Amino acid sequence: MPLLAIQDSLDELAQLADTAGIEVVGRDYQRLDRYNAATMIGSGKLQDVKEQLAETGASTLIFDDELSPRHQREVEKALGEDVKVLDRTALILDVFARHARTHEGSLQVELAQYQYRLPRLTRQWTHLARQAGGGAARGGVGGVGLRGPGETQLEVDRQAIGKRISYIKAGLKKVRAHRERHRAQRKKTGISVVAIVGYTNAGKSTLLNALTGAGVLVADKLFATLDPTTRRCALSGKREVLFTDTVGFIQKLPTQLVAAFRATLEEVTEADVLLHVLDVTHPHAQAQALAVEQTLEQLGVTGIPQVTALNKIDRLAEEERGSLSGEWVDGLSHAVPISARAKEGLDELLARVEKVLYEQMTPMHVLLPYRASELVAIFHKHGIVEQIQHTSDGVKIVGRLPGRLVTNYRRYLVQ
């Protein structure tokens, strides 16, 4: 079931088209109990669309849902070779391809594009298969079918794409291993990680810049930034955490993209806290929040505590700020009203993040020998020291530590 109403979903599709450099000149929709087996939409509606294309001079038709290879092939056949048929998935892939800046991002998008295109290759070579003609393409010698030039080209293309996919996956495997090494190193240091998640254009990059001075590109566009950025941020008591900005989510996020960006999105699954940035001024903020939650479930991210940043309150009047509540808002985890652009509410937001991190820490009472001075330093830097006492046997500390550091201190526990 779609999260947005039909017109609202079409509005978002128009935004995607604009981001991809496509001018929208018209829209239409049809309510169906079930898809047409051949063309998804009914034959009458398809004829209406064909007439609209002729009237407006449009050369591209974009469907808001993903088309099967057969649907796409049959619609193109009905509309003629001059009309390009896309679906929401292809459009999002194009937007991602335009905004990928790093080698990793480009590889991820390219992999998703090839995985999307591979089952749709048939339609690109049907004209060549027809050129084979006659009995050669149908019967052949001794009942063995001979391949027409179209079929030969199709197999060549499939093999080439298959090799390219293998090459890209190998490259991304190296990226993944590199990330795993970095995460392993972070775990050793005990520094906590806060992953910033949210719907595209909710203000995640603006918030990262406001908190850390990261200097990440900020633009009022869908998927303005794709590549993850990680920066240090000091909480109270000089304790540092890492904030990681991740790719934005969207309704009907293509499964190919989720799979291709898994190495990047693993930063989310490994986080200590998720910071969910929500644009509370958006008319469909509730639907966007639900889309983010569903995508997190798709990634298998469960059980990680969340803090919600109710962003862009600088666009609200005073009375609107005061009424920033309701059943769905009150149901959000640790919600804090902020403006990343105006830097309002950031101290309270960081305090809330610190509180949630504190609740996730393990209570510890240890006696550290003086020779283990590095463990004392790590406790001060990455833990919370509640009591400290210097004795003849060593340094006695009562406090809390991130779970990943507990193993290093078990032998020094005070019973």
Give 191-359's CATH code, choosing from 3.30.56.10, 3.40.50.300, 3.90.400.10, 3.30.200.20: 3.40.50.300
Strand order from edge to edge, sheet including 395-401: 362-368, 395-401, 384-390
- List the helix and strand counts (H, then E) for the chain: 16, 11
- 93 contacts 108 by C-beta, under 8 angstroms: no
pLDDT (tens digit, 9 = 90+) per residue, 264-296? 677 788 888 999 999 999 988 889 999 999 888
User: Which residue shows structure tokens 């009203």?
Assistant: 337
Q: Give the N- to C-terminal CA distance of the chain in Å, as an integer.
A: 55
CA distance 284 to 138: 54
30 Cβ contact list (under 8 Å, min separation 6): 41, 42, 45
- 271 contacts 304 by C-beta, under 8 angstroms: yes
Q: Which residue stretches of the chain have pLDDT < 70?
A: 1-3, 122-151, 186-190, 216-222, 224-227, 237-238, 260, 262-264, 322-323, 325-327
Looking at residue 168, its amino acid is I
Model pLDDT, residue 1? 39
What six digits make up the tokens of 81?
Answer: 């070779």
What six digits make up the tokens of 37?
Answer: 């087996």
Model pLDDT, residue 332? 84
CA distance 412 to 396: 10
Model pLDDT, residue 30? 92
**β partners of residue 364:** 399
Homologous superfamily, domain 6-98: GTPase HflX, N-terminal domain (3.40.50.11060)
What interhelical angle do 262-269 and 103-117 show, nearest 10? Answer: 110
CA distance 302 to 41: 37
**β partners of residue 102:** none
Model pLDDT, residue 27? 93
Cα distances (Å, whole numbers) of residue 228 to 45, 105, 326, 388 = 42, 9, 33, 38
Q: Do domains 6-98 and 191-359 have the same CATH topology?
A: yes
CA distance 127 to 125: 5
188 Cβ contact list (under 8 Å, min separation 6): none
Domain boundaries, the chain: 6-98, 100-170, 191-359, 361-412
Model pLDDT, residue 219? 64
pLDDT (tens digit, 9 = 90+) per residue, 366-391? 999 999 999 999 898 888 899 999 99
